[in-house]
Chain A
Amino acid sequence: MKNRSFLPLRRIGFYSFLLALLTFIVQAPVFAQNGSNSVTGKITDAVTGQPIPGATVKVKGSSKGVSTDAAGIFTINAAPSAILVISYVGYAGQEVSASADLSSLRLSQASKDLGEVVVVGYGTQKKASLTGAVSVVTAKNFQDRGPIANPIAALQGQVPGVVVTRSSAAPGREAWNFQVRGATSINSTDPLIIIDGIPVSTPIYGAPPPGATPGTPVNSNPGNTGLGVTMNSANALSSLNPSDIESISVLKDAAASIYGSRAAGGVVLITTKKGRSGKPVLQYEGTVSTKKKGLMYKLANGPQWGHGIMDALTNDYFGNPNKSYIWYRMGSLMNNAPDSGYIDLNYTYTVDPTTGKLTYVGTPVAPASNPANPGFGDVKDITFFNTNWNDILWGGGAVSNTHNLSLAGRTEKSGYRLSLRYSDDGSLLKWGDNSNKLYNVRLANDWTITNKLKVETNLSVEENDILMPTALTNGNVLGNYMQPGFPTVTKNGQPYAWGTQYDPNWQAKLGGSTKESNTRIYANLGLTYSITKHLRFLGKVAYDPSVTDVKAQNKVIHWWNYAGTIQAPDAPTQANGYYQRQTTKEGYYNLNGYFEYRNTFGTNHDLAVTAGSQYERDEYDYYSAKTTSLTNDNVPSLNLSIGDPTTKSVNELQSHWALGSYFGRLNYAYKGKYLFEAQARYDGSSRFAPEDRWKMFYGFSGGWRIIDENFMKKQKVFSDLKLRASWGQVGNQNGIGLYDYINTLGSTVTSGSASSGVPLLGANPVVYINPSGSLVSLNRTWETIQNENAGLDFGLLQDRLTGTFDYYIRNNNNMLIGITYPSVVGANAPQSNSGHLRTWGWETTLGWRDQIGKLTYHVAATVSDNRNKLVSLQGASVMTPGYTDGTSAHPYVQGYPIGSIFGLKYAGRIQDQKTADAVNAIGAGNNIGLPLKVGSQPGARMGDNYYVDVNHDGKLTTPGDLVYLGRDDPRYVYSLNLGLEWKGIDFSTVFQGVGSRAVYRGYNVVEVPYQNLYQGEGAYWVGNTWTPSHTNAFYPNLSANQNGQTYNTYNYQPSSWSGTVQNGAYVRLKNLVLGYTIPQSLIEKIKLQKVRIYFSGQDLWEKTAIHDGWDPEASRTISNLERYPFYRYLTFGLNVTF
């Protein structure tokens, strides 16, 4: 039953593909014909004079119609007596005689966008009669502004309430994420993304990271690919061609209720372009871009690094450091580097008594017993090359380019659009292979078979190939850098090793690549059948298969000392080097159909009803094979393994889910001004036991078009005014396993003689089976989020000034949270629906559009804010210092927002002994690392931080003295768009920023000087640490936590001092475009319709309060791929319409 029933589905998908292809081939030559009675005209905007492409021109009384080309020009067969009807969305229609002067027909924008149609769930609605909070971004908002790495990025700064983030700048591994109106749950709530009516499925599992030993199921950690990239639907979108997008609608409130159980994070509806009316239009869009290294933390150079070590150790030893300590000697050497640039420890040296520099003597000696050796057992030399790894690894002329070609047209019975894209994103990484290549083909067809039947196909094939050095995934290149003395290459040009530390550049270049190839196909067949004048049936079948193939190679690298005389052991060795292959196959099916009824009763009652059902199913299939000990690394192949069976491992994961749904919507409008809408969805999920499987979600909304009231007729100020309100429910099933109600069993087998945990019964260790350590859950259900929204839309001064304001409250009353039960249960209890999260906020947009002479301009601003509070976590109230991520180490705290940061209250820097004494007086019993004043040890000193004893218990402790310091999610997210057009010149900018965010990176090298003595250091503290002669320094006394002291731990406790918890506010010039459209007169001669050239820049400028050097948009943790430098992006672009 399971599989057989879906064979027809696959077949339908396949036939729709064939049919679409066939249709295209057949109709391609059937272009519009010119007859002898043809008339030609041009349509322009009445205000701007710009041509209007795509306007429809019809002969009145006939079905004949054409549309204007890019230059606004049309040609139509019409008798001189005929009347031409001209229409274009958003403009007032016109009728004109075919014999009149058609050379400059001017259309005026409709005073209100009454006709503007917005895509909503299962259908469209007029914008004027919308009652929900729906934001729309159309192609013109993001096209012709330079490359967009992900269509979701187009929403940034355009839609209030939507926050788009990427955590990395690595090509293809940006890890896109976005939130609509902030957090909805402590469990993940990705927005539901829908392309042309079909949801983009989110992979249930991520693949384990390349190099990980297969065998660990990763379903406990959904979304983790191990590459630092969350596999959410936003990332699946990164291969979608932004040039194919017509519009994006974001459903933010109860308007999403029609998507029921998956709409908790909001719904994003993407509509792709179709063939427009008129002649075939061939368009080319191309860009060439270059990346410039953006913000990144600065590194200390050799002498700074060495001085810092000595100062830190001097402080830790209270002025009397142990000068024979290995790192003190290393720091001291760094300040007395010999002129040769390195010390070969295989030979002896003498110390010049005056300069302190070493002089080469040249008697052979064992490196470990060389008096010049600070004490390293494994290194062969000491080098002083003052290497700045940021410059060594990153920069170069990273070039990216994108080429788009599209062909679109429409005949009377059918329309088509074919588009192709090639894109190659280059990398700032100067070593190894790193790129992201995209290949797209999309074909959209529609044809009218009879008056009643219309069929549409939309087929997209996307290929996304990501190439990256494997060393970037294992932390060696993107971790903390080596100390600055490292050479980047040996004397002979070979890779350099210092003991067991290795040049990161060579690891990137020689360590092998990880090649990921993603193939995604979206095959979508739609049908519309008009049963009566008022009743239609719309059906869709979609099959979206995707395949990800990863080939990861970790090659053996040979290393040398600087002189090139001693080869170090290989790293990785042949036994550790590996080749891994992993393939993920996912098939997503969707069948949906609905009836749509629209009618007007009398003159006052407009009614529309939609009702239908849907079935979806997703099948996930992953397997992986890995082998170490390869013959050699030249050819990556699983066949070349020469190891025993323990060097090979395989793993498989399979899963599936299905969702069945009924849905419906009812719209009623009285006199077009009192609007009412109800929607509902009844969802049944395979994740639940049959008896608890189905659940209803529903919502209501209403609108009042005040502007249409009689009392508004006389005023001149308002051109639009509408009040909206909504209430609705949406669901979230994240946090619920795929087979939650079925108890699974784990099997354990021996992995060889070292596997002592498997009993030996009979001749051999046995296989044993255990029930899962997690209980099945029979009584938990979807989180249900209640959305409440009130909104106001307005237009003033003939819509020169337009705006919206929305206020919302969301309550997740049955949030899934973990509850600790007595251990006698004997297994981990599933999360239960017993938490409560409240989210509330507001968002507003304001736009001004006008013209001065030939200069048209617009200004638009958006501001939004949201707050949340964990109203109930069943009493969980223990604060922990730092960022709370919901783990047991840093649990969420009831009464505070998700992602709260708690810390001490900073009281200032200790500048006198009296203060130090006062701090030491409350030092006893502290648990924050304050060294005690004992004997000759001073405890808190001048130059250290001090904190407030918030709870007045006479000691400094956590959690007792912790206070709330803010949250990591941004607040007051704003953007400002400016646009100018003048005589073919267009100019636009987008500024974007965040008003408030608390950034706590954690106690790490990025924030704390000399957390690790053996690594490179940031330069943020250089010259800015407290010393008796520099008492107003930003940073406290340098320390390395040596001599049993923990001054760093103490001084760098998360606190309200901005040295630890930074202010993440910023404003940034997100986008700047300067374009020029070459006058029509010049290009007509070469048979072109439109040529535009432009320059665009992204992230060109910013002002940020972050002081450790990292980009303000970078994520909090700055780990692994998040360390990939952000960049400024300069683009030259060309648009040509043939």
Chain B
Amino acid sequence: MALVLCFMQSGCNKALNLKPLDQLSDAAYWQTPSDFQLAANAFYTYERSFLDVIFDVPVGVSTNANPHADMKGDLVNTANGFSRGTNTAPTTDNIWSTGGAWSKIRNTNYLIAKAATYPKPADIARYVAEAKFFRAYVYFDLLQIYGAVPLILTPITPDSMAVYGPRASRDSVVNQIIADLNDAIPNLPLQSNIGDNGRVSQGAAQAFLSRVALYEGTWQEFRGNTARANSLLDIAISASNAVMISNQYSLFAPAALGDSAQKYLFILENNGTSGTGLTPPADPRSNPAGLQKSANNEYILANRYDHATRQIRQNVTHTMFGYDLTKNFADLYLCKDGLPVDKSPLFQGYSTMNSEFINRENRMRYNMMVAGQYYWSGNANWRVDYLGDAIERANSNGGAFKPYNNSLTGYHNQKWAVEKNDYDNEEAMDYPVIRYAEVLLNYAEAVFERNGSISNADLDKSLNLVRLRVNKDNGMPPLSNELVGANGLDMRTEIRRERTIELYLEGFRVDDLKRWHDLASFQKPLLGITWTGTQFQTTWPTQSTIPKDGNGNLIVDNIRNFSEKDFLWPIPTQQVQLNPALGQNPGWQ
């Protein structure tokens, strides 16, 4: 039979070459720029979003989740093993795991490796740049969490040497991140040429570079390595400056919103209702001015949502509405004379539930909830007309606000809580992966840390823009060397204060404290309102059993054992067993 003859021929191996029929495979992919674009699209799932910064250890996830959430720090009331320093090294976590950071790095490496053999590199340069941006993005995450990690820059296999190799030094990880970003920057478009909104721009890579360089620069500075610190701070200065002079971004400060601009920035949604059949008729606006997302030129890189096509699917509003904040945080807000509570003659003390809110800078009342005011919170308690009139007050959340009496701090948050009638999980504001305010603050801090001082001019083109965005009309002075000098303030403290106030609940605080080597802030007890002798004592007599400090402040968490070892997380023990060459971070052995 013909078959037998056929097999006598060598060519019949071909009859055994079969390719997948119903799946994409390398055999038929990586042929066009579009193929690379689709692969690069996957990297955008690596961006942080609400889940990463305003939730603490969702149910069913290992306790190593959400390493950047403010819940791991001192601004909000959560007593977890990480903020307390009582956690132990886990067997596995969901970051250092297959499917976690290393899969993301593999996928970026995969695209970069496939691009190496693409015949027209110029056509795909943008996607290679995106791959490098996100490789840097993921490595920076690992750096912040674990410090030194292995450097894997190709799609490796189990028999690669690197699998059982040691960790690369911290410096080489940082150098690689900087090199990837520098490679990416020239091949990325300006924001004005971005095309598909939401993709990485040149400004995003520069802004991220400023974040990385400032992080590592200060990390090294406060661990005694001045030379390394200075070279990194120089990078931070130039990278943030590049964004500032690019004229691509500006702070969101529409006149129509006045001093509430920063508040509505975070809950800016396009018009439209997500609740249907609700009475009274819902206002489609997310802010009193009816501004839409197009008015926002501050978000340099955003994880974007849309009610019709991509909802957040996290219960952001009802998690954040009334969320418990600490006195540690509340006392950071300056009075409107630019002085802290312990120095300002304008400070009204703690005697009533809202006395401390008087004469403070505007962000305090827009980020926190003030007793006696009215608040709205999406589903069931939405804004009707943004007039604050009787109908609207009737639809407010619980009427005139009274701080909750649940053995909590008594300080309550409203950042991230929408006022428009979004159903739970259906909110659709964008998440700022990088926003311009951070770049301005990076610049100020980098300049100060590099030189030990900062000129008023540098402050005015950076930090003061942020500070005065919503404090234009209340007479608040800019931060200046004169203000500092005249009032015995500390410039570094003021720069850090500004950053903490502006960026809270955006995933910066815990990492900032770590790079500043600030054990003291981690170790301070978490405090609530001043109870003894205040209106709270008469309103909440049952809180008498809660421990208080010498000033009559509620102590909500006094187990603050955060120590030197906690600046880095432990590598999951299973990984150390599988590859002893990794070693363990100091103090976790």
**Pairwise interchain contact B38-A821, C-beta atoms closer than 8 A:** no
> Among A277-285, A452-460, A751-759, which stretch is in contact with chain B?
A751-759
Within 8 Å CB of A759, what residues of B? 41, 44-45, 47, 198, 303-304, 310
Contact digits for B59-100, partner A, Cβ 8 Å, 1 yes 0 no? 000000000000000000000000000000000000011111
22 CB < 8 A contacts A-B:
A593-B3, A613-B3, A660-B15, A738-B20, A745-B25, A745-B29, A748-B42, A753-B306, A753-B309, A754-B311, A759-B303, A761-B304, A762-B196, A768-B38, A769-B42, A773-B98, A823-B97, A823-B100, A824-B150, A825-B160, A826-B152, A832-B158
Once A750-B310, A768-B39 are accepted as A-B contacts, the answer to whether A685 and B16 lie under 8 Å apart by CB is yes
Check B197–A612 contact: CB distance below 8 A.
Answer: no
Would you call A769 and B38 a contact (CB within 8 A)? yes
Q: Are B98 and A739 in contact (CB under 8 A)?
A: no
Is B312 part of the contact surface with A, judged by Cβ < 8 Å? yes
A-chain residues with CB within 8 Å of residue B39 when the two chains form the complex: 745, 768-770
A959 adjacent to chain B (CB < 8 Å): no
Across the interface, do A822 and B1 meet the contact criterion of CB distance under 8 Å? no
**CB within 8 Å of A: which B485-507 residues:** none
Determine whether the beta carbon of B195 is less than 8 Å from that of A684: no
A660 partner residues in chain B, CB cutoff 8 A = 7, 12-13, 15-16
A662 within 8 Å of B (CB atoms): yes
Partner of A760, one of B15, B159, B305: B305
> B26 on the interface (CB 8 Å rule)?
yes
In the assembled complex, B162 has its CB within 8 A of some CB on chain A: yes
Answer yes or no: B313 CB below 8 A from chain A CBs: yes
B27 touches A826 (CB 8 A): no
Is B247 interfacial (CB-CB < 8 Å)?
A: no
**Residues in chain A near residue B14, CB distance under 8 A:** 1
A657 within 8 A of B: yes
Interface core residue of B152, B158, B304, B308 (most chain A CB under 10 Å): B158
Contacts A760-B309, A767-B41, A823-B98 known; A656 to B198 CB distance under 8 Å?
Answer: no
Residues of B within 8 A of A753 (CB): 306-311, 426
Contacts of A686 in B (CB 8 A): 16-18
Contact A592 B311 (CB under 8 A): no
Question: Does A743 reach chain B (CB closer than 8 Å)?
Answer: yes
Contact assessment for B16 and A662 in the assembled complex, using a CB-CB cutoff below 8 Å? no
Could you say which residues of chain A place their CB within 8 Å of the CB of B575?
822-823
B137 CB, min distance to chain A CBs, angstroms: 14
A771 in complex: contacting residue of B18, B106, B313, CB < 8 Å: B106
Q: Is the CB of A756 within 8 A of B304?
A: no
Give the residues in chain A near B103, CB-CB below 8 Å.
773, 826-827
Interface status of A766 (Cβ within 8 A of chain B): yes
A612 neighbours in B (Cβ, 8 Å): 4
Determine how close the nearest CB of chain A comes to the CB of B444; give it in whole angstroms. 32
**A residues near B155, Cβ cutoff 8 Å:** 771, 826
Would you list which residues of chain A between 1006 and 1034 have a CB under 8 Å from chain B?
none
Q: B8: nearest residue on chain A (CB-CB)?
A: A613
Whole-angstrom distance from the CB of A752 to the nearest CB of chain B?
A: 8
Q: Are A693 and B13 in contact (CB under 8 A)?
A: yes
Q: Is there contact, CB below 8 Å, between A654 and B35?
A: no
Report if A761-B106 is in contact (Cβ < 8 Å); known contacts: A686-B17, A756-B311. no
Q: How far is the CB of A220 from chain B (nearest CB, A)?
A: 12
Q: Counting CB contacts under 8 A, is B22 at the interface? A: yes
Whether A655 is near chain B, meaning CB under 8 Å from some CB there, is yes
Interface residues in A772-791 (C-beta closer than 8 Å to B):
773, 775, 779
Bound Cα distance from A760 to B312, whole angstroms: 11
A765–B47 alpha-carbon span in the complex (Å): 15
CB distance from A746 to the nearest CB of B (A): 8
Bound Cα distance from A756 to B44, whole angstroms: 12
List, in ascending order, chain A residues with CB within 8 A of B287's CB: none
In chain A between 808 and 822, which residues have their CB closer than 8 angstroms to a CB of chain B? 819-822
The answer to whether A739 touches B18 (Cβ under 8 A) is yes
Given known A-B contacts A5-B15, A655-B22, A826-B155, A821 and B163 have beta carbons under 8 A apart: yes
A826 to B106, Cβ gap below 8 A?
A: yes
Which B residues have a C-beta under 8 Å from some C-beta of A? 1, 3-4, 6-7, 12-27, 29, 35, 38-39, 41-42, 44-45, 47, 96-100, 102-107, 109-110, 150, 152, 155-160, 162-164, 195-199, 303-314, 426, 574-575, 578-579, 582
Q: How far is the CB of A592 from chain B (nearest CB, A)?
A: 7
CB of A658 closer than 8 Å to a CB of B:
yes
* Cβ contact within 8 Å between A657 and B18: yes
* A-to-B contact residues, CB < 8 Å: 1-2, 5, 217, 527, 539, 591-593, 612-613, 615, 617, 652-660, 662, 684-686, 690, 693, 738-739, 742-748, 750, 752-762, 764-771, 773, 775, 779, 819-829, 832
Which B residues lie within 8 Å of A685 (CB)?
16
With contacts A822-B163, A824-B163 taken as known, whether A747 is within 8 angstroms of B24 at the C-beta atoms is: yes
Contact B310 A765 (CB under 8 A): yes
By a CB distance below 8 angstroms, the chain A residues around B110 are 771
In the complex, how many angstroms separate the beta carbon of B420 from the nearest chain A beta carbon? Answer: 16
- Would B4 and A654 count as touching, CB distance under 8 A? no
Besides the known contacts A658-B15, A762-B199, A768-B39, 6 further A-B residue pairs in the complex with CB atoms under 8 A apart: A539-B4, A662-B7, A753-B306, A761-B198, A771-B155, A825-B157
Residues A757 and B45 in contact, CB atoms below 8 Å apart: yes
Chain A: which residue is nearest B157 at the CB level?
A775
Q: Which residues of B contact A745 (CB under 8 A)?
A: 23-26, 29, 39
Instruction: Looking at the assembled complex, report how far the CB atom of B556 sits from the nearest CB atom of chain A, in whole angstroms.
Output: 28
- Pair B16/A822 contact, Cβ less than 8 Å: no
Q: With the chains together, A295 CA to B80 CA distance in Å?
A: 55
Determine the chain B residues whose CB is within 8 A of the CB of A217 once the complex forms: 22
Known: A660-B16, A769-B35, A823-B575. A762 touches B197 (CB 8 A): yes
Shortest CB distance B139–A (Å): 12
Contact B17 A762 (CB under 8 A): no
CA distance A819 to B25 in the complex (A): 25
> A691's closest neighbor in chain B, by CB?
B13
Q: Are B44 and A825 in contact (CB under 8 A)?
A: no
Contact of B3 among A615, A656, A738, A828 (CB under 8 A): A615
Contact B22–A652 (Cβ < 8 Å):
yes
Question: CB-CB < 8 A to A617: which residues of B?
Answer: 15
Given contacts A539-B1, A613-B4, contact A684 B16 (CB under 8 A): yes
> Quick one: closest B residue to A737, CB to CB?
B20
Distance in Å: Cβ of A761 to nearest Cβ of chain B: 4
Q: Which residues of B contact A652 (CB under 8 A)?
A: 22
**For B156, what are the chain A residues with a Cβ–Cβ distance below 8 Å?**
824-826
Min distance, Cβ A536 to any Cβ of chain B, angstroms: 13
Q: Which of A750, A757, A825 has the most CB of B within 10 A?
A: A825
**Complex CA–CA separation, A824 to B100 (angstroms):** 10
Determine how close the nearest CB of chain B comes to the CB of A726; give it in whole angstroms: 28
Across the interface, B197 reaches (CB within 8 A) one of A653, A654, A761, A832, namely A761
Picked from B3, B25, B150, B196, the residue with its CB within 8 Å of the CB of A742 is B25
Q: Of the candidates A592, A764, A766, A823, which one forms a contact with B38 in the assembled complex, judged by CB atoms under 8 Å apart? A: A766
Most B CB within 10 A of own CB, among A591, A659, A823: A823
Pairwise interchain contact A828-B4, C-beta atoms closer than 8 A = no
A593 touches B1 (CB 8 A): yes
Q: Within 8 Å CB of A824, what residues of B?
A: 102, 150, 152, 156, 162-163, 579
Known: A745-B25, A753-B307. A821 touches B18 (CB 8 A): no
Q: How far is the CB of A240 from chain B (nearest CB, A)?
A: 26
Q: Are B195 and A760 in contact (CB under 8 A)?
A: no
Whether A758 pairs with B3 at a CB distance below 8 angstroms is no
List B contacts of A826 (CB < 8 A).
Answer: 98, 102-107, 109, 152, 155-156
Report if A656-B21 is in contact (Cβ < 8 Å); known contacts: A758-B310, A824-B102.
Answer: yes
Question: Do the beta carbons of B313 and A684 come within 8 Å of each other?
Answer: no
Is the beta-carbon distance between A760 and B306 smaller than 8 angstroms?
A: yes
Determine the distance from Cα of A773 to Cα of B578 in the docked complex, in whole angstroms.
20
Docked Cα-Cα span, A686 to B14, in Å, equals 9
Q: How far is the CA of A79 from the CA of B22 in the complex (A)?
A: 71
A758-B310, A824-B152, A826-B155 as given contacts; A693 in contact with B16, CB under 8 Å? yes
Q: Which residues of A are found within 8 Å of B22, using beta-carbon distances? A: 217, 652-655
Chain A residue at minimum C-beta to C-beta distance from B106: A826
